[in-house]
Chain A
Amino acid sequence: MEYLLYSIIFSVSAILVAFFLEWFDRKVYARIQHRVGPKITGPHGVLQPIADFIKLLTKEDCLVKGSDTLLLDMGPVLSVAFVLFSLFFIPFGYSEGLLSIPGDLIIIIVLSSFVAVMILLTGYAQKSAYANVGAARWAELFISFEIPFVISLATITVASRSITISEIISWQAHNLPLIVIAPIALVTFIFSSLAKLEKTPFDIPEAETEIAAGWMVELSGRKLAFFRLTKDLEYLLLSALGAVIFLGGPIGPSLPGLELIFGIIWMAIKTIIFALVFSILRGLVARYRIDQAIHLFWHKVIPLTFFQLIIIVILGLFGFI
């Protein structure tokens, strides 16, 4: 019963933090473009993402005749559920998440792939040329960014000799943070995360100026609200995952008896750092074409991740790590 209560509180808190991160992202992005960003709803506009979500929930649900309604109803709900469930494995204070099982890093990879599949199916379920092109672009981008994403996480597992997040954290507590040992993996993780989040320069599947909003062009009302929430939750998940596997998550100096509070503070700071990096990169660079993005990932990012993995394997074989 106690665990059930914790789960509900955690889920609601995660959604609220995801909304906060969306506000943060919009503010940073606006500042880079010399705009103010959201400022009316709540102090400094912090409640704007919640207001947007509620507004979309109350709007009418329009669909093109001939679209697959079952898939279009399932997609948004399952996407939110998968990302929210992934967040249960991320430690936000203690060195273990609300759920901690052996191999939980693999579970996060699998769940994030499920979300990608849901997006793909949603694009194809709509009877609209724009949505279909968006879905096809997403598929092409997915086969490009998923590899460096998985390899960079595999590099971390090889370096820390574990596929369990709590063990990766405790390894970093006794050794150097993995950002020092595997800096190239960090770079490739950031690149692939930007593509996973469909943020510029990899917002190709929903490029407004080319294909309206791509795979979500025909979505409206609660479906659009849920997919936007999915992207916010993914933003939180990837920022927190980066903080955990490269910066040690909740590890940091603390006072005796206040480990949990300091753990939460350290985790929040590190998560914000990653969120800030994603937002700044989004604001600074222009969109790639789909062929340029595929070329970039397959010919530059993937070889880089290989190189990093080889270095880690050699260091491990000679006993340096």
Chain B
Amino acid sequence: MQGLLEIVLSFSVVLILSLLLYFLGNRKKRETEDPFASGEKIPAMRIQYLAPWLFYVILFGVIDVAFLLIALTAGQFTPIILVYMIIVSLVFIILKLK
């Protein structure tokens, strides 16, 4: 087991190494008017994009937090696991009924 110093040192090493490699690359920049890579004559623009699966985004938030908490209980087999699974299953059933 290591301390904070080793963690900071390791991250500094990888960050400096990545930066060094990045600045070794060609720094010459060219800005283009049109998106060049597609090969099509379309104007440069950002598109408005609405996720059609918004309810999945909400589910993602619920389940991701829940399962990180389950992982953090580290297999103590506490009732918290069953409670979370019931909550998540109910969310699934409600969505299915919708």
Q: Is A153's CB under 8 angstroms from B71's CB?
A: yes
Q: Is A158's CB under 8 angstroms from B67's CB?
A: no
Q: Which residues of A contact B6 (CB under 8 A)?
A: 3, 99
Identity of the chain A residue whose Cβ is nearest the Cβ of B30 in the assembled complex: A62
21 A-B residue contacts at CB 8 Å? Answer: A4-B13, A61-B25, A63-B32, A77-B15, A77-B22, A80-B14, A81-B18, A101-B2, A136-B51, A140-B53, A140-B56, A143-B60, A146-B60, A150-B64, A150-B71, A157-B71, A161-B75, A162-B75, A212-B39, A306-B89, A309-B85
Identity of the chain A residue whose Cβ is nearest the Cβ of B55 in the assembled complex: A298
- B interface residues with partner A (beta carbon < 8 Å): 1-2, 6-7, 9-11, 13-15, 17-19, 21-22, 24-39, 42, 44-47, 49, 51, 53, 56-57, 59-60, 63-64, 67-68, 70-77, 81-82, 85, 88-89, 92
Binary B-proximity of A30-64 (CB < 8 A = 1, otherwise 0): 00000000000000000000000000111111111
Q: Which residues of B contact A294 (CB under 8 A)?
A: 53, 56
Q: Is A11's CB under 8 angstroms from B14's CB?
A: yes
Which candidate, A122-130, A238-246, A255-263, A273-281, is the interface stretch facing chain B? A122-130
Complex Cα–Cα for A99 and B63 (A): 29
Q: Which residues of A contact B15 (CB under 8 A)?
A: 77, 81
Q: Which residues of B contact A11 (CB under 8 A)?
A: 13-14, 17
- A74 to chain B minimum Cβ distance, whole angstroms, is 10
Q: Which residues of A contact B1 (CB under 8 A)?
A: 100-102
Q: Is B74's CB under 8 angstroms from A162's CB?
A: yes
Q: Is A163's CB under 8 angstroms from B74's CB?
A: yes
Q: Contacts A129-B42, A306-B85, A316-B77: A99 and B22 contacting too (C-beta < 8 A)?
A: no
Complex Cα–Cα for A146 and B42 (A): 34
Partner among B10, B31, B53 whose Cβ is within 8 Å of the Cβ of A85: B10
Q: Which residues of B contact A151 (CB under 8 A)?
A: 63, 67
- A interface residues with partner B (beta carbon < 8 Å): 3-4, 7-8, 11-12, 56-66, 76-78, 80-81, 84-85, 88, 98-103, 105-106, 109, 124, 127-133, 136, 139-140, 143-144, 146-147, 150-151, 153-154, 157-163, 212-213, 217-218, 220-222, 225-226, 294, 298, 302-303, 306, 309-310, 313, 316-317
Complex Cα–Cα for A112 and B64 (A): 14
- B29 to chain A minimum Cβ distance, whole angstroms, is 5
Q: Which residues of A contact B67 (CB under 8 A)?
A: 147, 150-151, 154
Q: Which residues of B contact A140 (CB under 8 A)?
A: 51, 53, 56
Q: Is A63's CB under 8 angstroms from B25's CB?
A: no
Q: Is B72's CB under 8 angstroms from A106's CB?
A: yes
Q: Which residues of A contact B14 (CB under 8 A)?
A: 7, 11, 80-81, 84-85, 88
Identity of the chain B residue whose Cβ is nearest the Cβ of A97 in the assembled complex: B2
Q: Is B75's CB under 8 angstroms from A133's CB?
A: no
Partner among B2, B36, B51 whose Cβ is within 8 Å of the Cβ of A218: B36
Q: Contacts A77-B19, A132-B49: A58 and B35 contacting too (C-beta < 8 A)?
A: no
Identity of the chain B residue whose Cβ is nearest the Cβ of A131 in the assembled complex: B35
Q: Which residues of A contact B59 (CB under 8 A)?
A: 143, 147, 298
Q: Is A64's CB under 8 angstroms from B22's CB?
A: no
9 other A-B residue contacts (CB within 8 Å) besides A61-B28, A63-B29, A313-B81: A84-B18, A128-B37, A128-B45, A129-B46, A133-B49, A151-B63, A162-B74, A226-B18, A313-B82
Partner among B37, B51, B70 whose Cβ is within 8 Å of the Cβ of A154: B70
Please list the 8 inter-chain residue pairs (A to B) with the smallest Cβ-Cβ separation, ordered nearest first: A222-B25, A161-B75, A57-B25, A143-B60, A158-B75, A154-B71, A7-B13, A128-B35
Q: Is B29's CB under 8 angstroms from A65's CB?
A: no
Q: Contacts A61-B28, A298-B56: A81 and B34 contacting too (C-beta < 8 A)?
A: no
Q: Which residues of A contact B17 (CB under 8 A)?
A: 8, 11-12, 84
Q: Which residues of A contact B10 (CB under 8 A)?
A: 7, 85, 88, 98-99
Q: Contacts A65-B32, A99-B6: A57 and B26 contacting too (C-beta < 8 A)?
A: yes
